[in-house]
Amino acid sequence: MKSFLNILKFIGWPTACGILIAISVMQYQQLQRLSNLSLPTAATEPAISSTLSYSQAIKLAAPSVVSINATSVNVESIERASEGEVNFHLGERDSLGSGVIVSENGFILTNLHVVDTLFDAFDTQVTLNDGRSTPATVVAWDKENDLAILHINMDDLTPIQIGDDSQLEIGDIVFAIGYPRNIGQSVSQGIISALTRNPNSSTAIIQTDAAINPGNSGGALINSEGKLVGINSSIFSASGNFEGIGFATPSTLAISVFEEMAAQAVAANSGYLGVITGEALNAQSSALFFGNDHIRGMLVESVDAGGAAARAGINPGDVITRVGQTAVIDAQNIMLEVRNKKPGESIDIEVYRDGQNYLLPTILGFGQAMIIEP
């Protein structure tokens, strides 16, 4: 301490203060340079959402996937009990699968093996995701690609949006939507396992590990945007149960086949009204049923549920008086006018009901359609 005071006496207080100030400035400048240096930081990884969901994709596609059910008659044996009398021993076969609505006009795409037992079916029903149910008609099939189309007469249908399967890559997330084992609509998630792999042919096909169980066949394989990329078709399994190897027909191929089959089916089939009529009214029956003798036409006895006539508003008890420009005299008039139209075409039908005439525009459907096989 004394030496420091001696130094101060020697150099003087002003000089000492200047030295201290200089030292302070140098230290400040050094600290400032250190603060500008970039220190190494730990690498940050992109945040992964813990609430990742594909619910919107499922909501988009689910209304377009339907359940297909049918009970068909199988003639097991025929026994002649007596002269002129034959007894048929009948068995019932049930079929269950899924399908995809691909047109607002009522076309449904599915697998052929889902519907190949339906050609002799007496009760074929399609049930939509919203619970509505309606009869269906098989109108075309393609054996080579295991595809078939059905037609239903129903309003407010939601066709599925079509995706581009050519953009798929191995590892992409996909979802299989269908009706497995008759438990209602279900969704399973998986990835694209392989592309262009078919155990039976060289046809392009998609392999996935999304669960495909009995009842899923004919359902939709969708991408993460909810768009159709395939029609679920089969599994590879030694046990018969799903083992992580499922196959789907690419959407590009399926839609191309559908468009060809639908065009051929419409061209080959006549329109269908879906009514059963009774007798042609004459003066006597008109007076008996309606209290006057001048009503002419065909009395409607029944209407096919979900058929063209039902959708147009034709009811049992109505009298069909005119079809198109032709006055109805007998059932032949109705048949000829309807057969001159194609499924999906419109025809005006006039009916008499409760003392008044009503003109009902009617979109014709498919009846017992001719099967189109390319």
SS3 314: coil
Contacts of 137 (CB under 8 A, 6+ apart): 124, 150, 151, 152, 365, 366, 367, 368, 369
Q: Examine the residue annotation and report whether 3 is marked as an active-site residue of this protein.
A: no
Q: Examine the residue annotation and report whether 293 is marked as an active-site residue of this protein.
A: no
* Partners of 111 in beta bridges: 147
Contacts of 255 (CB under 8 A, 6+ apart): 102, 109, 162
CB 244 within 8 A of CB 279: no
Angstrom distances, CA of residue 3 to CA of 19, 22, 112, 287: 17, 21, 109, 144
Angstrom distances, CA of residue 357 to CA of 207, 285, 295, 318, 349: 58, 18, 10, 10, 10
DSSP character for 372? B
Query: Which of 72, 95, 103, 113 is an active site residue?
Result: 113
Please give the Cα distance from 346 to 274 (Å, whole number): 14
Q: Which residue has the tokens 């996935």?
A: 208
Q: Examine the residue annotation and report whether 146 is marked as an active-site residue of this protein.
A: yes
User: Residue type for 241, please?
Assistant: N
Q: What are phi and psi of 227, to 5 degrees?
A: -105, 145
CB 192 within 8 A of CB 169: yes
Joined tokens for residue 198: 């078919």
Contacts of 228 (CB under 8 A, 6+ apart): 61, 64, 100, 160, 161, 162, 163, 220, 221, 222, 251
Query: Which of 146, 165, 304, 318 is an active site residue?
Result: 146
DSSP character for 144? T
Query: Which of 188, 217, 233, 251 is an active site residue?
Result: 217
CB neighbours (10 Å) of residue 19?
A: 10
Q: Which of 117, 119, 103, 98 is nearest to 231 (CA)?
A: 98
CB 220 within 8 A of CB 64: yes
Active site residues: 113, 146, 217
